[in-house]
Amino acid sequence: MDIQIQWFPGHMAKAKRQVQDALKLVDVAFELLDARIPVSSSNPMIDQILGQKPRVIILNKSDLADPSITKQWQRALDRPYIKAIAVDTIKGEGLKEVPRVASMLVAEQMAKLAAKGRRPRAIRCMVLGIPNVGKSTFINRLVGRKATKTGDTPGVTKGQQWIRTQGSLELLDTPGILWPKFEDPEVGYKLAVTGAIKEQVFDIYEVSLKLLQWLAEYNPEKLKERYRMNELNPEATKLLWDIGVKRGLLVSGGLVDESKVAQLILKEFREGLLGRYTLDLPPM
């Protein structure tokens, strides 16, 4: 699975410095991951950068992930200074937990400040995550208004800004420059099927074939139901063709428009119409 994206060490070093400088200003970090791919949607330097800084891991898009595996991930990620929350930023589910958990993680630190006679203040939080994981929507939901530009194009956020929420938090947004590392082709594939990277940089047809093969093995009944088929062709190329015929995605001469079928499969997978799946499994 050849996905043409470069991981520039120089850019990563700059991103690391920016985050480390900002860390001095914050009490807790919010790390956004895609609940369907918690490993593939992370930046490999985050653990090193954050160290034991209190951290809330936001498993975003949890409405599209397998709920039982999301619970396993929450247990696997749990540390004394790390708590994971399953969130759906589009519907706002799970967001009420965020300020509560952040307060719990920094309670001791805030108590020390109070003991020194410091006045109570908002909890300062930094929002981290790779492009297109949902940082802007997450911030807008917490703030209760359109505080940052949002979009489904990776890399919408361009600069740093502090934003006050309606509650007890102040948020520092960071540019979406913490890219994942693409050395493992499986990581690239998972980012492609979940929509984390632009479709111009990978072969949509090849990615959709691999996804279709996996879906046919993992949950054939859902595919049959969605595309109204009695049987699934064991060959992914022929199965994609059959779906094209069923959906009427044809070109002149009655041939299937394979590109349109590939786009349809990816779109319906990303929207949860083919089922709720988690592609990265937690350690046993």
| Residue 137 annotated in ligand binding | yes
Block residue for tokens 């009655």 = 254
How many structural domains comprise the chain? 2
| 34 shares its domain with 129 | yes
Least confident of 19-23, 24-28, 181-185, 191-195: 181-185
| 214 shares its domain with 130 | no
Q: 245: helix, coil or strand?
A: helix
241 domain-assigned: yes
CB atoms within 10 A of CB 166: 10
283 compared with 56, residue with greater pLDDT: 56
Instruction: Inform me whether the pLDDT recorded for 38 exceeds 70.
Output: yes
pLDDT band at 155 (very low <50, low <70, confident <90, very high): very low
| Residue 16 annotated in ligand binding | no
Instruction: Inform me whether the pLDDT recorded for 223 exceeds 70.
Output: yes
Q: Cβ-count burial of 18 within 10 angstroms (0-12 exposed, 13-18 middle, 19+ buried)?
A: middle
| Residue 40 annotated in ligand binding | no
| 73 shares its domain with 160 | yes
Instruction: Inform me whether the pLDDT recorded for 158 exceeds 50.
Output: no
pLDDT for 154: 40
Least confident of 53-67, 88-102, 118-132: 118-132
What CATH number is attached to the domain comprising 215?
Answer: 1.10.1580.10
Instruction: Inform me whether the pLDDT recorded for 149 exceeds 60.
Output: no
**Cα–Cα dist 239/216, whole Å:** 9
58 domain-assigned: yes
| Residue 61 annotated in ligand binding | yes
| 160 shares its domain with 215 | no
278 domain-assigned: no
Q: 162: helix, coil or strand?
A: strand
Least confident of 122-136, 210-224, 237-251, 269-283: 122-136
| Residue 176 annotated in ligand binding | yes
Q: How many CA atoms lie within 13 A of 154 on its CB side?
A: 20
190 domain-assigned: no
Q: Which of 158, 173, 188 is the last residue of a domain?
A: 173
For 169, which DSSP code?
A: E
Say what the pTM is: 0.88
Instruction: Inform me whether the pLDDT recorded for 62 exceeds 80.
Output: yes
| 143 shares its domain with 234 | no
215 domain-assigned: yes
Pairing of strands 123-128, 55-60: unpaired
198 domain-assigned: no
pLDDT band at 148 (very low <50, low <70, confident <90, very high): low
| 116 shares its domain with 214 | no
| 117 shares its domain with 255 | no
| 13 shares its domain with 134 | yes
| Residue 136 annotated in ligand binding | yes
Instruction: Inform me whether the pLDDT recorded for 153 exceeds 50.
Output: no
E strands in 131-234: 161-164, 169-173
pLDDT for 160: 63
| 138 shares its domain with 223 | no
Instruction: Inform me whether the pLDDT recorded for 199 exceeds 80.
Output: yes
Residue 256 structural domain: 203-270
| Residue 188 annotated in ligand binding | no
188 domain-assigned: no
**Sheet with 82-86, side-by-side order of all strands:** 82-86, 55-60, 28-34, 123-128, 169-173, 161-164
| 14 shares its domain with 78 | yes
| Residue 134 annotated in ligand binding | yes
Q: Which of 173, 191, 214 is the last residue of a domain?
A: 173
49 domain-assigned: yes
**Cα–Cα dist 223/215, whole Å:** 7
| Residue 275 annotated in ligand binding | no
Comparing CA positions, the residue from 34, 30, 13 lying closest to residue 163 is 30
| 245 shares its domain with 149 | no
Q: Cβ-count burial of 275 within 10 angstroms (0-12 exposed, 13-18 middle, 19+ buried)?
A: middle
pLDDT for 40: 93
What's the mean per-residue pLDDT of the chain?
Answer: 87
| 119 shares its domain with 65 | yes
